[in-house]
Amino acid sequence: MARAIVLTRGYRRSLARLGIKTGSPRGRRVGATVGRIADAEELPAPGDVEATIPPTHAAYVRRVRNENLWVWYMLRGSHVWAVAVTPHPPVPTD
């Protein structure tokens, strides 16, 4: 099931803070992760973790392959909202 992807301002800012540029090897790996999230048959997928974005928003988090990076996303209808990329693993809510 292909979902529409929304790259939020926070997502773009987090990439800039981490120095991840579009088209760079890290940028391609992050983009591939977002693409796999959007194409997943079922979300959250096994291995995705639910965590809280301060102060109170719940999001799902998936690790970028071969990187110490995590993509944070939210589901809204048929859209995947990419909300952040962080260099630290999430703290699960459960």
Mapping DSSP onto H, E and C, the string for the chain reads CCCEEEECHHHHHHHHHCCCCCCCHHHHHHHHHHHHHHHCCCCCCCCCEEEEECCCEEEEEEECCCCCCEEEEEEECCEEEEEEEECCCCCECC
Which residue type is seen at 64? V
Question: Is residue 16 included in any domain, yes or no?
Answer: yes
**Coil vs helix vs strand at 91:** coil
**Band of residue 94 on the pLDDT scale cut at 50, 70, 90:** low
Question: Is residue 91 included in any domain, yes or no?
Answer: no
Question: Is residue 93 included in any domain, yes or no?
Answer: no
The domain containing residue 41 runs over which residues? 4-86
What's the total number of domains in the chain? 1
Question: Is residue 94 included in any domain, yes or no?
Answer: no
Q: Tell me, what CATH number does 42's domain have?
A: 3.30.2310.20
- Average pLDDT over every residue of 18-39: 97
**Band of residue 4 on the pLDDT scale cut at 50, 70, 90:** very high
Question: Is residue 92 included in any domain, yes or no?
Answer: no
- Average pLDDT over every residue of 27-56: 92
Q: pTM for the full model? A: 0.92
**Band of residue 57 on the pLDDT scale cut at 50, 70, 90:** confident
Q: Is the pLDDT of residue 1 over 70?
A: no
Question: Is residue 28 included in any domain, yes or no?
Answer: yes
